[in-house]
């Protein structure tokens, strides 16, 4: 009988989960926000999104094929996701060549130079975004106001202050909470519609792609500190990049802590730093910086916030 049995260690079955399944689930969760972005900002949103996604995928493919000469992994969806998330952090009227530079920084510098997926220390989309913010401050902070009616405009969009900058400058801008929730306000592509993002959050929880710890601790922390520091908690929750950051950026697998305790600490500190920057710093928006700073602290959190061991008082021998 010429057959050969296969031998390996247990377990001999697998759940079928894969990296691409998780990445595409997140991409799916972002679709409501993407549709909302096109609804509110017109074809400019589509252009920025498409450019960012394509650029990220192409850069990753080229780097893997010609520089690293390793097995290609663009199909796993992580480059697509980075492209989508980067786009969601940009204004819809950003010149496309700047978008491509941002994609390059995100993929080549923040992700591939660290060793590819799994080895990067900082959230690639955020690194790209912050790089663009600092290098092209003018283009990155002229926010188009929401169209909500004239959505086929690409150029000549009206620009104005975001709700966050109004809060910073203590100006009234006539926005109601409903506007904030739905997204009828100025801002970057993905951050405006809290409802669309929240739908994505529920979907991800249901599919067990992420757990509740990080987003909920960020929300709780923001509410706590806005109350403590005399600001409007709901306004801070729903404006700016907080919803997007809390649900999709801070929960990035590679750069967030590995244990529930660690995740709560991480979320708490992100909320704190965000509020400090928003209320006392020069920038109206603090989420990107807060998340990047905490990405750097994540290894430390991983060292110290160990899970409770079964049957042990202390978490190490």
Partner 1 sequence: MGGIHPGENKLSAGQKIITSTLPSTVTIPLAQSLGMPSSSVVAKGDEVKVGTLIARSTGFVSANIHSPFSGKVLKVDDVYDSSGYRRPSIFIEVSGDDWESTIDRSEELNREIKLTSSEIIKRIADAGIVGLGGATFPTHVKINPPADIKAHTLLINGVECEPYLTADHQLMLEKPHQILVGIEILMKATGVNKAVVAIENNKPDAVDVMRKAAESFTGIEVISLKVKYPQGSEKQLIEAVTGKRVKSGDLPVSVGVLVQNVATSYAVYEAVQKNKPLIDRLVTVTGHAVVRPINVLTRIGTPFGLLIEMAGGDLSQTGKIISGGPMMGKAVVSPDIAVTKGCSGILVLPYLESRRRSMRNCIRCAKCVSVCPMGLEPYLLGRLGEIQDWQSLEKECVMDCIECGSCSFTCPSNRPLVDYIRLGKSRVGTIMRNRK
Partner 2 sequence: MSIVLLSIILLSLLGAISAVILNFVAKKFYVVEDERIDIVESLLPAANCGGCGFPGCRGFAEECVKADTLENLICTAGGADTMRNVALALGKESFTSTPMVAVVRCNGIPQYRKKTNEYDGAASCAVSSALYSGHSACAQGCLGLGDCVFVCKFDAIHINKETSLPEVNEEKCTACGACAKACPKSIIEMRKKGPRSRRIYVRCINKDKAPLARKACDVACISCGKCQKACEFNAITIAGNVACIDPHLCRLCRKCNDVCPTSAIVEVNFPQKRESITE
Structure-block tokens of residue 233: 């908690």
Q: Is the CB of 70 or the CB of 176 nearer to partner 2?
A: 70
Q: How far apart are CA 115 and CA 83, in angstroms?
A: 18
Cα angle: 166, vertex 170, 33; to 5 degrees: 25
Binding mask 15-44 for partner 1 (x = CB under 8 A): x-xxx-xx----------------------
| 1 contributes a contact to partner 2 by CB under 8 A | no
Q: How far apart are CA 39 and CA 45, in angstroms?
A: 9
Binding mask 202-231 for partner 1 (x = CB under 8 A): ---------x--------------------
**Stretches 41-49, 51-59, 90-98, 308-316: which one binds partner 1 (CB under 8 A)?**
308-316
Of the candidates 76, 85, 26, which has an alpha carbon nearest to the alpha carbon of residue 210? 26
**Stretches 6-14, 78-86, 188-196, 237-245: which one binds partner 2 (CB under 8 A)?**
6-14
Under rule CB under 8 A, which residues in 107-136 are in contact with partner 1? 115-119
**Stretches 8-16, 84-92, 143-151, 169-177: which one binds partner 1 (CB under 8 A)?**
8-16
| 69 contributes a contact to partner 1 by CB under 8 A | no
| # of chain residues touching partner 2 (CB under 8 A) | 6
Q: How far apart are CA 95 and CA 93, in angstroms?
A: 6
Of the candidates 168, 178, 171, 179, which has an alpha carbon nearest to the alpha carbon of residue 145? 179
Structure-block tokens of residue 65: 């094929």
HSE on the CB side for 91, CA within 13 Å? 27
Could you tell me the smallest distance in angstroms from the CB atom of residue 71 to partner 2?
Answer: 15
Under rule CB under 8 A, which residues in 149-188 are in contact with partner 1? none
| 317 contributes a contact to partner 2 by CB under 8 A | no
Is 19 in contact with 78 (CB distance < 8 Å)? yes
Q: Is 134 exposed, middle or buried (0-12, 13-18, 19+ CB in 10 A)?
A: exposed
HSE on the CB side for 277, CA within 13 Å? 18
**Stretches 28-36, 48-56, 161-169, 258-266: which one binds partner 1 (CB under 8 A)?**
258-266
Judged by CB under 8 A, which of 1, 4, 15, 317 binds partner 2? 4
| 9 contributes a contact to partner 2 by CB under 8 A | yes
Is 19 in contact with 179 (CB distance < 8 Å)? no
| 70 contributes a contact to partner 1 by CB under 8 A | no
**Residue 259 partner contact from partner 1, partner 2, none using kind-dependent CB cut-offs of 5 to 8 Å:** partner 1
Of the candidates 21, 20, 46, 33, which has an alpha carbon nearest to the alpha carbon of residue 201? 33
| # of chain residues touching partner 1 (CB under 8 A) | 43
Could you tell me the smallest distance in angstroms from the CB atom of residue 118 to partner 2?
Answer: 17
Q: How far apart are CA 105 and CA 120, in angstroms?
A: 13
**Stretches 137-145, 182-190, 253-261, 267-275: which one binds partner 1 (CB under 8 A)?**
253-261
| 15 contributes a contact to partner 2 by CB under 8 A | no
Looking at 146-187, which runs of residues are DSSP E strands? 159-160
* Distance (Å) of CA 180 to CA 100, 183, 192, 249: 29, 5, 7, 20
Could you tell me the smallest distance in angstroms from the CB atom of residue 2 to partner 1?
Answer: 9
Is 124 in contact with 115 (CB distance < 8 Å)? no
| 8 contributes a contact to partner 2 by CB under 8 A | yes
Q: How far apart are CA 222 and CA 236, in angstroms?
A: 7
For partner 2, the binding residues (CB under 8 A) are 4-9
For partner 1, the binding residues (CB under 8 A) are 1, 3, 5-15, 17-19, 21-22, 73, 115-119, 211, 253-260, 306-312, 315-317
């Amino acid at each position: 009988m010429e057959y050969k049995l296969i031998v390996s260690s247990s377990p001999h079955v697998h759940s079928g989960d894969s990296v691409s399944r998780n990445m595409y689930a997140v991409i799916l969760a972002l679709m409501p926000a993407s549709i909302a972005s096109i609804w509110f900002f017109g074809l400019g949103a589509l252009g920025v999104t498409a450019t960012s996604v394509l650029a990220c995928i192409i850069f990753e493919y080229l780097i893997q094929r010609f520089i690293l000469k390793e097995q290609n992994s663009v199909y796993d969806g992580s480059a697509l996701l980075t492209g989508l998330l980067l786009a969601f952090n940009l204004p819809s009227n950003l010149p496309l060549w700047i978008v491509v530079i941002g994609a390059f920084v995100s993929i080549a510098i923040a992700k591939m130079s660290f060793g590819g997926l799994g080895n990067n220390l900082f959230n690639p989309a955020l690194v790209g975004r912050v790089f663009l913010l600092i290098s092209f401050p003018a283009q990155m902070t002229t926010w188009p106001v929401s169209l909500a009616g004239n959505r086929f405009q690409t150029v000549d969009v009206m620009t104005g202050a975001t709700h966050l900058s109004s809060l910073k400058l203590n100006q009234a801008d006539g926005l109601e909470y409903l506007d904030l929730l739905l997204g009828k306000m100025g801002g970057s592509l993905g951050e405006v519609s809290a409802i669309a993002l929240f739908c994505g959050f529920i979907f991800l929880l249901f599919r067990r792609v992420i757990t509740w710890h990080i987003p909920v601790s960020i929300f709780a922390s923001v509410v706590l500190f806005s109350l403590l520091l005399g600001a409007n908690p709901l306004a801070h929750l729903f404006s700016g990049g907080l919803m997007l950051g809390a649900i999709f950026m801070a929960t990035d697998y590679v750069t967030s802590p590995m244990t529930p305790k660690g995740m709560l600490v991480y979320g708490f500190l992100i909320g704190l730093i965000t509020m400090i920057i928003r209320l006392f710093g020069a920038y109206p928006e603090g989420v990107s910086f807060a998340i990047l700073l905490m990405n750097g602290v994540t290894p430390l959190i991983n060292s110290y916030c160990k899970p409770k061991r079964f049957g042990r008082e202390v978490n190490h021998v």
